Structure 1
Amino acid sequence: MPADQHTPNAAPAAETTELIRFDGVSKRFGAHTVLDALDISVYTGRHVTLIGPSGSGKTTILRLLMTLLKPDGGTIKLGGRYLTHEERGGKLVPASDRYSREVRKNIGMVFQQFNLFPNMKVLRNITEAPVHVLGLDADAAEERARELLELVGLTAHLDKYPSQLSGGQQQRVAIARALAMRPQVLLLDEVTSALDPELVAGVLDLLRDIARSMDITMLCVTHEMNFARDISDCVLMFDAGRVIESGPPERIFTAPEHERTREFLSAVL
């Protein structure tokens, strides 16, 4: 199998299905190729972590799934439906914004920067999208938000503005906001990189609890290797826009096969 063709959890349990599929996906910025004909699959309920040096294409994958970027080649599917393309008249054409938004409803993302609405209190930050995007009744959205605030330990702060919270608290609100959409897939993009060191452990512990207790597919970009080892079913090692190695965390972290993986891990562990 070529280095850029990887199927995380290549032998998934019989009841799981392919949820995310990148098929020959390329992305370039000018003359720089960020993703090079990438082929990967992620199965329902699995937790897949992307590791590798900065600039190797990891965050680009998440941004493509959120349709914040468009691929220059190849196709992406979510739940069997094309994400950045759609079929019209028997042909595959670039998707309309409306079509992509509809498919993207099944994805939630937690960003490096918290991206909360500064003019909205915590509770409304969480209810806004379920009401206006999913069409959820306001009372039902508030009930869901309160449950999630209890999950992330912020019930006492629901009437505060983001500026009144610590960075760790803001990131917890961002996690609750993403989960409020009841996504099939939760994307995590270096969610502790903007936090003070003493706040990192609490956020990572929360995400560990979510990974263990919720039936949700997770795709995570992180430089927190112990966290990756704890939550992952599969780890993908990226370098220069390709997956050069993949496998269960026990093997990747203790007996990597690729020299570049060994070099990277020796620098970060």
Structure 2
Amino acid sequence: MRKTAAPGGPLIEFDRVVKRYGDHVVLDHLDFAVERGRHVTLIGPSGSGKTTILRLLMTLEQVSSGTITVDGTPLSHMPGGPDGRLRPASEKYQREIRRKIGMVFQQFNLFPNMNVLRNITEAPVTVLGIERDRAEERARELLELVGLSDKVDARPTQLSGGQQQRVAIARALAMSPEILLLDEVTSALDPELVAGVLDVLRDIARSTDITLLCVTHEMNFARDISDTVLMFDAGRVIEAGPPERIFGDPEQARTREFLGAVL
């Protein structure tokens, strides 16, 4: 059974966030929030701004205007501006807040010169200062969770794409994030490997309190794991609601058009 989400305000909040590249506006005064412990999936056509949201949360990109808040603390801005106002956040400041966030990318990004165990333990040991024995114990638990307890000593090149992605999921969880971002995690996999990775993520969604923010074109997966589905188009949320309504009886013509093309 899925655990009960902890009470409190939004864990993630976007307030009139704009992201532009030159004259091209990717996110257009975006407002949305994710409550603690909830599972939110972003759907919509390619280029609608979904992955940009995840990249902003990971501070791989910076906002053009507006603010992003994580657990009540501004991520995009920090105190110390003139007249007590916020100013753009420094890299050090963002790095501290980003410890709450883990991300699984489309590409696996494993270290080819390290075995599976070392891939998972390297960041907890070097970034969080966890003792190696403890980090390895946790890594073995996570490898069992993702069905790879027999691959501790394997190198990434000895694993299939689906196995590498499951290692990447374990690596993200090893940092004990409050938030897990999933960016099209099956898009680089052969079709026969997709189901295994999605099953692992379903187990995580059902058995933990972790807050999930997911970008995917796997609509059945989105229907299964989501508390809320957000439909994006042209950098804005045009429709939001529970999956049974979004997939069963969407209100917006653009949502119906998109789902008609992908389902």
Q: What TM-score comes out, normalization by structure 1 length?
A: 0.94
Query: Once superposed, which parts of structure 1, at least 4 consecutive aligned residues long, lie more than 6 Å away?
Result: none
Seq. identity, %: 75
2:171 matched to which residue of 1? 177
Work out the CA distance in 1 between the residues paired with 2:260 and 2:51: 22
Distance 2:10 2:212 in 1: 13
1:206 aligns with 2:219: no
1:43 paired to 2:32: no
Give the gaps of 5 or more residues in structure 1.
Answer: 1-11
Counterpart for residue 160 of structure 2? 166
* Contact 1:16/1:45 (<8 A) preserved: no
Distance apart, 1:132 and its partner CA: 1.0
Aligned mates of 2:168, 2:7 — CA distance in 1: 31
Question: What's 2:132 paired with?
Answer: 138
| 8 A contact 2:5–2:209 mirrored in 1 | no
Residue 86 of structure 2 is aligned to residue 98 of structure 1: no
Q: Aligned-residue CA RMSD in angstroms?
A: 1.2
Is 1:17 matched with 2:9?
yes
1:245 aligns with 2:239: yes
Give the match's secondary structure for 1:170. helix
The alpha-carbon deviation at position 81 of structure 1 amounts to: 0.6
Distance 2:225 2:115 in 1: 31
Task: Find the counterpart in structure 2 of residue 193 from structure 1.
Answer: 187
Helix, strand or coil at the partner of 1:183: coil
How far has the Cα of 1:16 moved from its partner? 3.9
**In 2, Cα distance between the equivalents of 1:29 and 1:160?**
41
Check whether the contact 1:24–1:75 (CA below 8 A) recurs between aligned residues. Answer: yes
Query: What letter matches 1:55 in structure 2?
Result: G
1:129 aligns with 2:130: no
Secondary structure of the residue aligned to 1:20 is strand
Query: By how many angstroms is 1:84 displaced?
Result: 1.7
- 1:133-162 CA deviation, whole Å, 9 max, x = no partner? 111111111111010001111111110111
**SS of equivalent residue, structure 2 residue 33:** strand
> What is the aligned counterpart of 2:223 among 222, 229, 244?
229
Secondary structure class of the residue paired with 1:75 = strand
| Deviation of the 1:15 alpha carbon | 2.2
Which of 46, 71, 74 is residue 63 of structure 2 equivalent to?
Answer: 71
Task: Report Cα offsets for 1:75-107 as digits up to 9, x if no partner.
Answer: 101001111210015221111111100000000
What is the CA distance between 1:165 and its match in structure 2?
0.4
> Which letter does structure 1 place at the counterpart of 2:111?
F
2:239/2:255 contact within 8 Å kept: yes
TM-score, length of structure 2 as denominator length: 0.96
TM-fit CA distance, 1:14: 8.5
CA contact (8 A) 1:50 1:236 kept: yes
SS where residue 28 of structure 1 aligns? strand
* Alignment partner, residue 87 of structure 1: 79
Could you tell me whether the CA contact under 8 Å between 2:69 and 2:75 is conserved in 1?
yes
Q: How many residues align?
A: 258
Unpaired runs of 5+ residues, structure 2, are none
Task: Letter of the 2:172 partner, please give it.
Answer: A
SS in 2 for 1:105: helix
From 22, 28, 31, the counterpart of 2:23:
31
